[in-house]
Structure 1
Amino acid sequence: MATLVLTTVGGLAGGPIGAALGGLLGQAVDRNVLFRPKGRHGPRLNDLAVQTSRYGQPIPRLFGRMRVAGHVIWATDLVERRERQGGGKGQPTMTRYAYSASVAVALSARAIRGVGRIWADGNLLRGAAGDWKVPVQFRLHLGSEDQAADPLIASAEGGENAPAHRGIAYAVFEDLPLEAFGNRIPSLTFEVIADDAPVPAATIAQALAPAVIASVPGDEAAMLPIDGFSAYGDSVRSVIETLAEVAGAWFVPIGDRVAMRGDPAPARMLAGGAGQRRIAPPARAPHAMTVSHYDPARDWQAGVQRAVRPGALGAAMSIDLAAALPAERARAVAETMLARTSSARATRRIVTDIATVDLLPGSVVSLSGEAGAWRVRSVEIERFAVTIELVALPPPVVALPAASGRVLRQVDVPAGQTIVHVAELPAMMGEGAGPTIAVVAAGSTPHWRRAMIHHSIDDGASWTAAGATPAAGTIGTIVAAASAAPATLVDRRTVIEVSLAHDGMMLTSIDAAGLDRGGNLALVGDELLQFGSVEQVGACRWRLSDLWRGRFGTTPALLAPGDRFVILEREAMLRILPLTGAGGTVRVMARGVGDEQGVEAAVRLSGAASLPLAPVHLSADIREGALALRWRRRSRVDWWWRDHVDVPLGEEREAYEVTVTTAIASHIVVTAVPYVTVPLSALNGAPLRAAVRQIGSLGASSPATLTLGDDE
C-alpha cells in the first residue's frame, strides 16, 4: 500500500528540500490543523509594542506597513549642557541644565522603503507629513546590502568598530533633546513602510522560505491581503504556520516544493454517495474565535474582533496576530477561522478507481450530488483502488460590519516654516533707557509654537544662544502703499491694509484709553505706530485706521507694499542686549521644529535708539533786538507727561545746541536750559531758520526746526 500525504519533515529554517516540506511519502501530518507541532511559537502582538535592547534578540522581517518599537542597537551616555539665564538688573543668575542622547534603533531584518510617523512615549515625535514636533537630527538606513556605516557611530566607535548593519533597516537619532521626556531616552515606536501596498499572505510565506514555498501568482493574488506583518518567532516555520492559519490556507506540492493555497474552487468532481462519513460532536469545535491584531485606524494600536456561533457548545479560541489588519478584515478572519473549525468536523473517506491516482494532498474537489467543496487530506493506493480522505471546506463567509472603536488621536498638523523679524528698538513703556534688539517670530501655519534663537555679531563666524521665543507673534506684510503723516495728530486719513501670515492670526480694535496704555503697537517698516480701528476684509487681510504715527521717537514714513508688519507685545518678543555699537550688524538665526535649516534675519544698528529725542514745541519771539527761542525736551526714560511739568532727563547732563541761520551765516549757541536769547546784532543778518538739538551722552538728537519770517 502506498500513502500520499503532505508532510512536514524537518524545518523551514534550513536544510535541503527533502527535509523541508515537500516529502510525499511517510508520516501523516494534518490530522487536526495543518502545521500543529508543539513547543513552537509564532509572532505575538506584544512583541512589537515594547522597545528592547537585549543582546541576541531576533529582529523581525517586516512586510507592508507596521508600527514597531524596534531594538536599541547603539546609544551614547547622556550629554549634559549648561546654560546661564538672567542676571540682569540685579536679578540672580540661574543655570539651566539640558540633556541629550544619541541612539540607534534596528527596525527590520529586511530592507524597507521608509518611515512615516514616529512616537516617543506615545506622543507624536514626527507627523504623517514628515514634520518633527521637537528639533531632532535623524537619519534612516533602509537596510540595503551596500549601505555604509552611520557617520555618528563611526566617529564614536572608530571606523573599524562600526558595523554597517547591511540588510538591517535602522534609525539614528543624533543629540535627541530629552527635556520633553523627563531627561531620559523615551520609548520610541515607528510606522515602518516596508512595502507600498498590502501584501498577500502567500507572498510573505514565499519571501520567507523561497527554497521551500513556491510562488504561484494567481493563488497569491487571491490570498488574504495583510496591511502589515512582522515575521518574528522561534523559527521561520512557526511564522508560516501563523500565516496559513490566519489566511485559511493549506499547502499543495509543486515539484520539489509546496505552494500555499487558499482558493476553495474545486478542480475535479468525484462520485459521491459512497464511502464512510464521519461528523465530530459540536463540542469539538470552538463556539467563539477572537483575533487580536494591529488596527491601522487606531494608529496601529491593538484591536480585537470576535466571531461567535450562537447557542453552540465548546471552548473559546483566540489568536494573537502580529499583523496589521483593518477591523473589517480582522472580523472576516475571525468568522472564517470559526467557520473552518466547524466545517472540519465533517470528514469523508471514499474509494475510487485508478483514474484518480493523480490527486495530490491539498487538492480541492467536489462530490456529485452534494453541495460544498472538500480538501484532499490523504491518498492511499492499494490493488488498483484509490482511497481518498476528505475534509469539508466552509462556504464563503458573508462579510459583516466591524468598527475599530473610538480613537483619541494627538493632533498631527505640520508646524510650518518659521518667519522671523529683528529690529533695533528704543526703550518702550517704562522698560528703561537702553535700546534693545527685539526678535519676533511666528510660523506659516497656526500650529507653529516657538523657535530657538541664536545671534552673531561677527557675520556668522560664531553664534550665541539666546533661548527660545516666548510665543508666536502676529506678523504680516503691507498690501498697499500708505503715505506719511504727522506724529502730533491722530491720523484719520490713512488706512493701512495688511496681510497676516496665516488665518489663525487676529487683530482687534481698541479705544483711546487702550492706545494710551500702549496697545496695538506695531512695527511697520521702520516706523512704530498704533492703530485703533480694525476691519477684517479677508481670511488673512485686515484694514487698520485711527493711527498714531511715529511712536517712541520713530519717524513717520511712506509705507510701501511688502513692508513688514509686526505686532510688538511683551509675551511675543525676545529681547537681546546689543553686543556691538552703532554701525555693527547683528544676525539672528531662528529654528523651529518645521525648519530643516535655520531662518536668518539681520539688523544694522544705527545707534538712533541711544540718542536723545528731538525737542518739541519750538517757538520764537523777536523783542527788543533779540531772538528768544523756547522748546520742550523729550526723554526716552518715560514717554508719558505725567506731572504736566517735565519728564526725566535720562542723560548725564542737560545741554542743547541751537543753530540760527541767516542769509549769510549761521550762529551756534550751547545752553543748559530749554530756552535761549540771541541778540540780533550777533546774527549779522535777519534770522531765517532755527534748529535745536539736545546733546546726549552718546550724541545729539535730530533737530527740531522752525522757519522764521520777517514778522517774527
Structure 2
Amino acid sequence: MATLLLTTLGTAIGGPLGGAIGGLIGNQIDARVFGPKGREGPRLKDLTISTSSYGQPIPRQFGRMRVAGSVIWSTDLIESKQKQKGRKGQPSTTVYSYSASFAIALSSTPVDRLGRIWADGNLLRGAQEDLKVGGTMRFYRGFGDDPVDPLIAAAKGPLAPAFRDCAYVVFENLELGDYGNRIPAMSFEIFADGGDETVSLARLVPAAVLPPSEPPLAQTRGFADEGGALASTLAAIDQVIPLVCASGHEGLTLATRALPEGEVMTLPPQLARDDRERDENRVRQRAGVPARTPAALRYYDEERDYQTGVQRASGTREAGRELMIDLPATLTAGGARQLANDSANRARWQHETVTWRIGELDPRLTPGSIVRQPDAPGYWLLRSWEWLDRGIALELERLAPSGGAPRASDPGQNLPPTDLPIPATTLAAFEVPPEAGANPAQPLIFAAASATNSAWRGAALYAVQGTALVDLGKTGSQRAVTGVLEAPLGPSPALLFEPGAEAIVALVAADLDLAETDRDGLTAGANRMLIGGELVQFLHAAPLGAGRWKLAGLLRGRGGTEPAAAIGHGAGAPAILIDDSFVPLDPVLVPPLATSRVAALSTGDTAPVIAPLANAGLSRRPLCPVHPRVDSAADGTRTYRWTRRARGQYRWEDSVEVPLVEEREAYLAGFGPVDAPHAVWQVDTPALALTAAERAALTAAHGPGPLWARQVGTFDRSPALLLANLT
C-alpha cells in the first residue's frame, strides 16, 4: 500500500524520478509493516558475449566495468585466398583467410576511455592499446557531436547513422583466423564518466536532489544499470549501501546513510510514560519477523579481470540456504568483504526500533536524520514522524555499531591471458646447402622470421624489386630460432668432431630454446645451425640467461661449408637454427643473387623490415674438391690429382662412386691468384699433368705461386682446392 501511495505521490511532486524515489520509500515502509521479503533488483551477470538482438537495451555504465556490448552494424565476411609454397618439398597449398568489419555499442552514457578487449577469452587489445591481430579500430566516446564513422558512411551512404549519445567501437577488416573465421565473443574494459574514481549517486541519478557534500558509494569502482525501473536499481544498491529517501520542502531527496559531520543532535526527553508504552507496542506490532542476515555478496572482481566474485560475511554461516545479495558493481575483494560484513551487521540491528514521543519538533529534525537518545547509547535513524493529539511520535531505527577494522580478503587465483606488446619482426633471408635427394637445379632460398616475444602473430613477406613489393605469402606464427654470435668463433679445419669447442649465441628472445643431442643425433643431422656461411652442428646447449646460450661440442663445416669454417666468424655474425620454421621463397621472385632483398611487414612493424639475401648461390655451388695428391714420373712430369664431391651427397659410402650431380664433369685448374690467375687449364677429369719445363716456365714468368683446381658446375664454380705451391 505504501509503495503504491508514495509512488503516486512522488510522481506528482518530482516526475518520474520522484516516482522512483517514492517507490523506494514505499518499499522500505512495506518491508517494516508487513515483514521482510525478497527484492528483485538488477541481476549480476557472468561475463556474457556480444549480442545483436533487436530491442536489446544498451545499459548505462559508470566507473570501470567489463561489458560485452551489442553488435549494431556489420559487413559480411571478407574472404581472401593465397597460394603458399610447401615447406621442404611439400606441395603448395591454397590458404583461405577471413576478415570482417563491424561496430559494437558499449554504453548509452559517455565513456572516458577504452581499456583492454577480450576475444574468446584471449586479449585482442592489451593494456598498451595494441591490437594482437591485423585490422584497425576506432572508438567513439558517446557524445552528441561524434562524427559519422567513415566506414559506415561508405557502406550506408547519406543515411548512415552516427550512433550519437552511444559509446561504440568500430573494427575495420579485423582478421578472424585466430577465432575460427568468425566474429569472436568479445568483452571490453571501459572507464566511463570518471572511471578512475568511485561511483557517486550524482552520476547514477543526475536529476536527484543531493546533499552538497554527498560522498561516493562506498567501495564501488563501477556500476552497470541494465535498464528497467530506477526504483529497482536503487533498491539493489540499498541492500548493500543504505540509502536515505525523504520528501521535504525541497522535494524528494536521495543520499547515502552516513554520520553527519560535526556533533550529532541529541533528542529532547520523552513525554508521559503511558503514551510511550502505547507507541512502543504499536512499533513492536509493525516490526514483524527480523530480517534474515545476508551471508554473501556477489560482485564483479576488479582484481580478477571483472569476473564474478563472492565474498562472505564473517560469522554468518547458518543451516539451510544462505541469503546472497547480487550487486552489479565493480569492487575489490577487500571492498566487497567490507560491504558484506557491513550488510550482515546492519541486518542484526535493524529490527531494533523505538518510538520517541516529544512535544515540540526541532526544524533540524527531518526523516533521514541521525540522532542520539539522551538515555541510550549508539546512533538512531529518524525514519518518520507523525503528528498526534498529544505530541509528535518519532520512529527511530537503531544504527548498527561499527563492525571494526576492515578485514583483508583474497580475490582468488586469476589466470589472466598473456598481455605482451606486439614486437617488431626480425628477418633473415639466406641460401642453405642442399640435402640428399634435393633437386640440384632448384635454389634453396628461405626466409627466417622471428620476434622478441610470443605475441608476434607472423608477417607478410615480399620480394623487393626496385621500389615495388611483390607478395611472397606469409610466415605463419611460428618463430624461427635466430640470433647472433656474442663472441668470435675462431677458424676450424672442419675435419673432426671438436668436443672442447664452444660458441656463445644470443637469441632474439629469451623464451626461445635450444636442445641437446647425442653423437647418434649428430650423425642423423640434428642441431644444425647456420652461422654466417658455415653450417655447424652442436652437441650440448646450456642456457646462460636472458636468451644467451653456450654451444659446446661442435662439428664444423657441415654441408660442404669448410671454406667458411676455415675463416671463422666475428662477433655479431647471424646464427639461425635449421628447423621447420623456415619459409621457402620463390627463386623466380627472389633470384640467388647477392642483390636480392626480402621484406617483412607485421602488426608490430611501423615500416617494412628488409633483409638482403645471404650466402647467395650456396645451394647450387659445387663443393670444393678434396684429397689433393701428386704423382711424379721419371721424366719429371707431375700429375696433380684430386677427388670430387657432389652437392647433397655427404655420406661417402665404401666402394660407391660419388654421383656427379652436375650436367657434365669439368674442372678449372689455375696458377696464381684464384680471382686473377696467371694461367688456367680446363680439364674433364680430376687430374692435371705438368712437365718440368712447363713448371719452370710458369715460375720464371710469374714467380712462385699456388696451383689450384675448382670444379665447374652447371650454375657456379666450387671454391678452389690448393694442389701445390710451385717454386
TM-score by length of 2: 0.82
Map residues 543-558 of structure 1 onto 2, 5 A cutoff. 543-554=550-561, 555-556=564-565, 557-558=567-568
Q: Secondary structure at the match of 1:148?
A: coil
Equivalent position of 2:221 in the other structure: 227
| Equivalent residues of 2:121, 2:417 under 8 A apart | no
| Equivalent residues of 2:429, 2:614 under 8 A apart | no
Going from structure 1 to structure 2, the CA distance change for 1:115 and 1:602 (only over 3 Å counts) comes to: farther
Q: Distance in 1 between matches of 2:622 and 2:320?
A: 94
Q: Distance in 2 between matches of 1:638 and 1:26?
A: 91
Equivalent position of 1:3 in the other structure: none
Equivalent position of 1:443 in the other structure: 451
Going from structure 1 to structure 2, the CA distance change for 1:679 and 1:469 (only over 3 Å counts) comes to: farther
Q: Deviations over 1:260-305 (max 9, x none)?
A: 1321457311135553222356635224455332222443222334
Q: 2:717 aligns with which of 700, 705, 711?
A: 700
Farther-moved stretch of structure 1 (185-194 vs 583-592)? 583-592
Following TM superposition, by how much is the alpha carbon of 1:589 offset from its aligned partner in structure 2, in angstroms? 0.8
**2:523 matches 1:524:** no
Q: 1:343 aligns with which of 345, 349, 353?
A: 349
| Equivalent residues of 1:72, 1:106 under 8 A apart | yes
| Equivalent residues of 1:415, 1:443 under 8 A apart | no
Q: Secondary structure at the match of 2:365?
A: coil
**2:633 matches 1:638:** no
Q: 1:477 aligns with which of 480, 484, 497?
A: 484
Equivalent position of 1:162 in the other structure: 160
Equivalent position of 2:702 in the other structure: none
Q: Which amino acid aligns with 1:437?
A: I
Q: Which amino acid aligns with 2:253?
A: V
Following TM superposition, by how much is the alpha carbon of 1:70 offset from its aligned partner in structure 2, in angstroms? 0.8
Q: Distance in 1 between matches of 2:576 and 2:221?
A: 49
Equivalent position of 1:60 in the other structure: 59
Q: 2:681 aligns with which of 659, 666, 669?
A: 669
Aligned length: 692
Q: Distance in 2 between matches of 1:197 and 1:114?
A: 8
Q: Distance in 2 between matches of 1:472 and 1:229?
A: 42
Q: 1:247 aligns with which of 241, 262, 266?
A: 241
Following TM superposition, by how much is the alpha carbon of 1:650 offset from its aligned partner in structure 2, in angstroms? 1.4
| Equivalent residues of 1:637, 1:648 under 8 A apart | no
| Equivalent residues of 2:60, 2:227 under 8 A apart | no
Q: Secondary structure at the match of 1:522?
A: strand
Going from structure 1 to structure 2, the CA distance change for 1:213 and 1:449 (only over 3 Å counts) comes to: same
Equivalent position of 1:603 in the other structure: 613
Q: Which amino acid aligns with 1:629?
A: Y
Equivalent position of 1:691 in the other structure: 708
Farther-moved stretch of structure 1 (47-56 vs 310-319)? 310-319
Q: Distance in 2 between matches of 1:24 and 1:322?
A: 20
Equivalent position of 2:186 in the other structure: 188
Equivalent position of 2:403 in the other structure: 397
Q: Distance in 2 between matches of 1:459 and 1:527?
A: 30
Following TM superposition, by how much is the alpha carbon of 1:620 offset from its aligned partner in structure 2, in angstroms? 3.5
Farther-moved stretch of structure 1 (38-47 vs 553-562)? 38-47
Q: Which amino acid aligns with 1:74?
A: W
Q: Deviations over 1:53-96 (max 9, x none)?
A: 12332222222221111111111112222233457999665433
Q: Distance in 2 between matches of 1:649 and 1:151?
A: 64
Q: Which amino acid aligns with 2:203?
A: A
Q: Secondary structure at the match of 2:395?
A: strand
Q: Deviations over 1:539-596 (max 9, x none)?
A: 5433444444333333233422222222222x3322223223325423131536x666
Equivalent position of 1:613 in the other structure: 623
Q: 2:463 aligns with which of 456, 469, 487?
A: 456
Going from structure 1 to structure 2, the CA distance change for 1:415 and 1:617 (only over 3 Å counts) comes to: farther
Q: Distance in 2 between matches of 1:511 and 1:605?
A: 29
**2:575 matches 1:575:** no
Q: Distance in 1 between matches of 2:399 and 2:175?
A: 57
Q: Which amino acid aligns with 1:170?
A: Y
| Equivalent residues of 1:216, 1:259 under 8 A apart | no
Q: Deviations over 1:671-702 (max 9, x none)?
A: 22211324455667145432322222223333
Q: Secondary structure at the match of 1:45?
A: coil
| Greater percentage in strand | 1
* Unaligned stretches of 5+ residues in structure 1: 1-5
Q: 2:670 aligns with which of 622, 644, 659?
A: 659
Q: Secondary structure at the match of 2:525?
A: coil
Following TM superposition, by how much is the alpha carbon of 1:709 offset from its aligned partner in structure 2, in angstroms? 3.3
Q: Deviations over 1:619-678 (max 9, x none)?
A: 33443243412111121132222235532211111111222459x994433222211324
Q: Deviations over 1:365-411 (max 9, x none)?
A: 11110123222223345789544333332223346758667546254
Q: Distance in 1 between matches of 2:467 and 2:328?
A: 52
Equivalent position of 1:504 in the other structure: 511
Q: Secondary structure at the match of 2:647?
A: coil
Going from structure 1 to structure 2, the CA distance change for 1:559 and 1:48 (only over 3 Å counts) comes to: closer
Q: Distance in 2 between matches of 1:24 and 1:84?
A: 66
Equivalent position of 1:357 in the other structure: 363
| Equivalent residues of 1:60, 1:108 under 8 A apart | yes
Q: Distance in 2 between matches of 1:19 and 1:178?
A: 46
Q: Distance in 2 between matches of 1:254 and 1:227?
A: 33
| Greater percentage in helix | 2
Equivalent position of 2:203 in the other structure: 207
| Equivalent residues of 2:24, 2:235 under 8 A apart | no
Going from structure 1 to structure 2, the CA distance change for 1:405 and 1:311 (only over 3 Å counts) comes to: closer
Q: Distance in 1 between matches of 2:324 and 2:38?
A: 17
Equivalent position of 1:45 in the other structure: 44
| Equivalent residues of 1:41, 1:233 under 8 A apart | no
Farther-moved stretch of structure 1 (51-60 vs 266-275)? 266-275
Following TM superposition, by how much is the alpha carbon of 1:105 offset from its aligned partner in structure 2, in angstroms? 1.1
| Equivalent residues of 1:482, 1:494 under 8 A apart | no
Q: Which amino acid aligns with 1:672?
A: D
Following TM superposition, by how much is the alpha carbon of 1:489 offset from its aligned partner in structure 2, in angstroms? 5.2
Q: Distance in 1 between matches of 2:140 and 2:104?
A: 10
| Equivalent residues of 1:419, 1:599 under 8 A apart | yes
Q: Secondary structure at the match of 2:223?
A: strand
Q: Distance in 2 between matches of 1:307 and 1:599?
A: 58
Going from structure 1 to structure 2, the CA distance change for 1:676 and 1:643 (only over 3 Å counts) comes to: same
Q: Distance in 1 between matches of 2:457 and 2:196?
A: 39
Farther-moved stretch of structure 1 (616-625 vs 485-494)? 485-494
Q: Which amino acid aligns with 2:255?
A: M
Equivalent position of 1:114 in the other structure: 113
Q: Secondary structure at the match of 1:649?
A: coil
**2:138 matches 1:139:** yes
Q: Which amino acid aligns with 1:270?
A: L
Following TM superposition, by how much is the alpha carbon of 1:350 offset from its aligned partner in structure 2, in angstroms? 3.0
**2:30 matches 1:21:** no
Q: Which amino acid aligns with 2:256?
A: R
| Equivalent residues of 2:10, 2:19 under 8 A apart | no
Farther-moved stretch of structure 1 (301-310 vs 522-531)? 301-310
Q: Deviations over 1:509-555 (max 9, x none)?
A: 55554433333322223333233455555554334444443333332
Going from structure 1 to structure 2, the CA distance change for 1:156 and 1:458 (only over 3 Å counts) comes to: farther
Q: Distance in 1 between matches of 2:244 and 2:489?
A: 80
Q: Which amino acid aligns with 1:194?
A: A
Q: Deviations over 1:5-57 (max 9, x none)?
A: x9655779xx98577439999998452469x9x99975322287242212332
RMSD: 4.1
Equivalent position of 1:372 in the other structure: 378
TM-score by length of 1: 0.84
Q: Distance in 2 between matches of 1:431 and 1:11?
A: 89
Farther-moved stretch of structure 1 (582-591 vs 313-322)? 313-322
Going from structure 1 to structure 2, the CA distance change for 1:703 and 1:587 (only over 3 Å counts) comes to: same
**2:95 matches 1:96:** yes
